[in-house]
Structure 1
Amino acid sequence: MGRSDNKHEDILCAAISEFGEKGMMATTMESIAVQAGVSKRTLYKHYPCKENLLDDVVSLLLKRVEPLKNITFNPHQPLLDQLRTIGEKTLHLICDEDYLRLSRIIIIESMRCEKAAKLLNQKFSDCEKQLYNWFSQASEAGVLGNIEPGLAATLFYGAIKEAAYWDQVAQWKPMLDKAQGKVLIDRICQFFIDGVQQSE
């Protein structure tokens, strides 16, 4: 995220950068103001404390999960095609540098504070609920064989995140390029379809 003509957006960009590098505890309101190119007075006008700023940073991340909230099972479309669409949306989301940076911030804060962890986990579970609903709808339509829908969602979503998210978040490994991402999604979708067919 770069500088803009909107001071509020510049503050959020600066907060993402500072929190991502230093964590919330080591980040100061002064460093955020400097990074954003605004006065401390302007910063405090928008945010009276770091906690309020972190809340907006988290909200920004959750908005990026929106594409996963708008999926609905289509009984007239092949399962493989629908899985590819979900996989591509998921991969596009988690291969976003800002999303990875924000994820690191949230993981650190969750480890630092139990209360924060519970709140963040609740927000994330709400955002990912539709993804699990899709697998429930697919199960009701009889296309998942004998695989329990919750397990199916966890296996599918978890396989993508394991290959293209956790190493990037925790070990700062490079993001997959477009060709690598396509191969990954194709393999996971085909593996999933094969597993469904074997369970029937």
Structure 2
Amino acid sequence: MPDFSVKQQDILQAAIAQFAQFGLSATTMEGISKAANVSKRTLYKHFPTKDALFDTVVAQLIERITPLTAIQFIPHYQFDTQLKHLAMSALELLNDEDYLTLSRIVIIESMRSKKQADSLNQRFIDCEKAMLQWFKDASNTDCLGSISPEFAAGFFWGALKKLSYWDQAISWKAPLDEAALNELVEQVCNIFCNGVTQGQ
């Protein structure tokens, strides 16, 4: 992701607010330029089309996910400790206010356009492959017992999203506070680890 000037950052923040409020189709470049307090000439200099600006906004959302892809499973290290670290890293991302705002934009545009949905879905699948790889690596060291890594990743990621993300994103609720996040990590990881242990 390129480094943006202060002017470009102002434009992107204005675009995010406009897209979140009006959606892609109803947002205008004129509205964005006014919200960013820049001329339309300056706006088009940095972002030649509204679609190009939207693509940059989506790229920012994708970039917010990439730190999660750097977390690797460490063989012969406590599984529950690693799982809690993975869970907390994911929850810190899912509960970030900027990430939630960008997510709402993507959700709206995915519902509006199948073509847009297919494009966005592919980009997110590529990012979430790292979560599956973590569980595959855990499975290779017999940490999952008879549970498949595909099921484990889906169950784990799905539980975190259901309990901390979807209501916040769709119903415009405030992100969970630190105490609630810590409690959620403990409960999800305990249920997961107990289930794996009993399945072995």
User: What range describes the TM-score normalised by the shorter chain of this pair?
Assistant: over 0.9
Q: Scaled by the length of structure 1, what TM-score is found?
A: 0.96
Distance 1:47 1:64 in 2: 21
* Matching residue of 2:105: 105
Distance 1:194 1:10 in 2: 48
Task: Look up the SS of the partner of 2:67 in the other structure.
Answer: helix
* Matching residue of 1:115: 115
In structure 2, what residue type is equivalent to 1:114?
A: K
Q: Tell me the CA shift for residue 5 of structure 1.
A: 6.7
* Matching residue of 2:187: 187
* Matching residue of 2:40: 40
Distance 2:85 2:136 in 1: 17
Distance 2:35 2:141 in 1: 52
Q: Percent identity?
A: 49
Task: Look up the SS of the partner of 2:21 in the other structure.
Answer: helix
Distance 1:5 1:87 in 2: 33
In structure 1, what residue type is equivalent to 2:164?
A: A
Aligned residues: 197
Distance 1:50 1:158 in 2: 33
User: Which blocks of at least 5 consecutive residues in structure 1 are unaligned?
Assistant: none
Query: Could you list the per-position Cα deviations for residues 20-55 of structure 1 after superposition, in whole angstroms to 9, with x for gaps in the alignment?
Result: 111111111111111111101100111121110000
CA RMSD between the two structures: 1.1
User: Which blocks of at least 5 consecutive residues in structure 2 are unaligned?
Assistant: none
Task: Look up the SS of the partner of 1:64 in the other structure.
Answer: helix
In structure 1, what residue type is equivalent to 2:162?
A: E
* Matching residue of 1:71: 71
* Matching residue of 1:140: 140
Give the 4+ runs in structure 1 shifted more than 3 A. Answer: none
Distance 1:5 1:90 in 2: 29
Query: Could you list the per-position Cα deviations for residues 44-102 of structure 1 after superposition, in whole angstroms to 9, with x for gaps in the alignment?
Result: 11112111000000000000001211011101211100111111110110111110010
